[in-house]
Amino acid sequence: MAADLKLIKELRERTNSGFLDVKKALEETNNDIEAAIKWLQEHGVAKAAKKATRIAAEGIVKASQNDKYAVAFELNSETDFVAKNDLFKELVVTIEKLLLEHNFETLEDVLKLKVNNIELQELITNATAKIGEKITLRRVVKVVPQDGQVVATYTHANERIATIILAKGQNKDSLRNVAMHVAALNPSYDFETQLPAELATKIKETALAEVRQNPKFDKLPEKVQNDMLQGKLRKAYNENNVLVFQPFVMEDSKTVAQYMHDNNLELISSLRYEVGEGIEVKHVNFADEVAEQMAKK
């Protein structure tokens, strides 16, 4: 039976599915709209399953907070185009709301959270079927400040970088500036104590060798010797991307540590998410891709 145009319109509005999928569903169910909805749900899961092995390395990251804690998450799609899709953005809003309104510890906990009695994992599966690309909630994190601590978040305008900073103190506005710094400069470590042992040893040995090149070094007062050595170390730690030694992006006459100290803050930890980091993407030559598809026929 041919699909009724009025029913096609209604079914598209109710399910947000594509025209061809809706038409096929109505044809398969003799224009029974409730049966067509069920058909779309069943075939949507099947379509999503077929996409499960595909790589989703684009998408959106976001950090936000309520009065108790901060959260960050990454929702992936296969292409940047889909990350700008209204359905995808609605899913981002839904996830953010769930994270800020419900208790969770792990990604698995989050995927079981419900909206109108539907688990988030099912909503993501449905989105995969409707949008036509693999959609994945890749990671989530929650940062809870304790007494005497403050947390601040920042999401860059392109929603491809998000940060959370935890510190001792209360100055949230100044801490948000540090969150923006971390988004911009992408430090590898918060403190020099986090450097790999071999690298830390090499930095110290190199710094000491450099100051000893001064023929007067051994005759200098111990305090002056130490100041010279610490200056070399600070420079080396900055060159090795240690956050507290980086010149602060909004006031580069100060390091991040100095800026925080001046604003009664002491860094505890920083977290930075960037879309797709760590995901290995397979780049296929277009001609090779066409040849591969032809070979399957």
Spell out the SS3 assignment of 87-154.
HHHHHHHHHHHHHHHCCCCCHHHHHCCEECCEEHHHHHHHHHHHHCCCCEEEEEEEECCCCCEEEEEE
Q: What is the pLDDT of residue 297?
A: 45
Angle of CA points 51, 15, 38, to nearest 5°? 75
Do 102 and 19 belong to one domain? no
Is residue 46 in a domain?
yes
Contact between 45 and 125 under an 8 Å Cβ cutoff? The reply is: yes
Mean pLDDT of 80-96: 91
CA–chain centroid gap for 103, Å, is 20
Do 30 and 103 belong to one domain? no
Is residue 287 in a domain?
no
Mean pLDDT of 238-260: 96
Domain finish residue from 187, 216, 249:
187
| Tokens read off for 78 | 């296969």
Is residue 223 in a domain?
yes
More confident call, 2 vs 59: 59
Tell me the pLDDT band of 293, cut-offs 50, 70 and 90. very low
d(CA 91, CA 103) in angstroms, rounded, equals 19
Is residue 297 in a domain?
no
Do 135 and 209 belong to one domain? no
Q: What is the pLDDT of residue 62?
A: 98
Q: Is 274 helix (H, G, I), strand (E, B) or coil?
A: strand
Burial class (CB in 10 A: 0-12, 13-18, 19+), 12: middle
Is residue 86 in a domain?
yes
How many C-beta atoms lie closer than 10 Å to residue 165's C-beta? 31
Mean pLDDT of 90-108: 97
| Tokens read off for 95 | 């996830």
Contact between 159 and 85 under an 8 Å Cβ cutoff? The reply is: no
Is residue 282 in a domain?
no
**Of all residues in the chain, what percent carry a pLDDT higher than 90?**
62
Domain finish residue from 122, 152, 187:
187
Lowest pLDDT segment from 52-61, 68-77, 106-115, 204-213 = 52-61
Looking at residue 31, which CATH number applies to its domain? 1.10.8.10
More confident call, 208 vs 26: 208
- What backbone torsions phi and psi does residue 34 show, to the nearest 5 degrees? -70, -40
Q: What is the pLDDT of residue 251?
A: 95
Looking at residue 95, which CATH number applies to its domain? 3.30.479.20
Do 65 and 139 belong to one domain? yes
Q: Which domain holds residue 36?
A: 5-50
Do 30 and 16 belong to one domain? yes
Angle of CA points 138, 139, 142, to nearest 5°? 160
Q: What is the pLDDT of residue 130?
A: 83
Tell me the pLDDT band of 18, cut-offs 50, 70 and 90. low
Task: Classify the C-alpha dihedral 30-32-36-39 as positive or negative.
Answer: negative
Q: Does position 265 have pLDDT exceeding 80, yes or no?
A: yes
Do 65 and 183 belong to one domain? yes
Do 182 and 81 belong to one domain? yes
Do 183 and 216 belong to one domain? no
Q: What is the pTM of this model?
A: 0.76
Do 12 and 112 belong to one domain? no
Do 74 and 46 belong to one domain? no
d(CA 5, CA 20) in angstroms, rounded, equals 12
Tell me the pLDDT band of 52, cut-offs 50, 70 and 90. very low
Which residue type occupies 178? Answer: V
Q: What is the pLDDT of residue 21?
A: 74
Distances (CA, A) of 282 to 54, 57, 135: 10, 10, 17
Q: What is the pLDDT of residue 16?
A: 62
Do 120 and 214 belong to one domain? no
What is the number of helices (H) and of strands (E) in the chain?
12, 10
Lowest pLDDT segment from 35-44, 115-124, 181-190, 252-261 = 35-44
Domain finish residue from 170, 187, 204:
187
Is residue 213 in a domain?
yes
Q: What's the total number of domains in the chain?
A: 3
Which residue type occupies 246? Answer: Q
Do 38 and 109 belong to one domain? no
Distances (CA, A) of 91 to 55, 72, 76, 161: 19, 15, 11, 18
pLDDT tens digits for 153-203?
999 999 999 999 999 999 999 999 999 999 999 999 999 999 999 999 999
Q: What is the pLDDT of residue 2?
A: 61
Q: Does position 51 have pLDDT exceeding 50, yes or no?
A: no
d(CA 25, CA 3) in angstroms, rounded, equals 8
**Of all residues in the chain, what percent carry a pLDDT higher than 70?**
85
Q: Is 60 helix (H, G, I), strand (E, B) or coil?
A: strand
Tell me the pLDDT band of 50, cut-offs 50, 70 and 90. very low
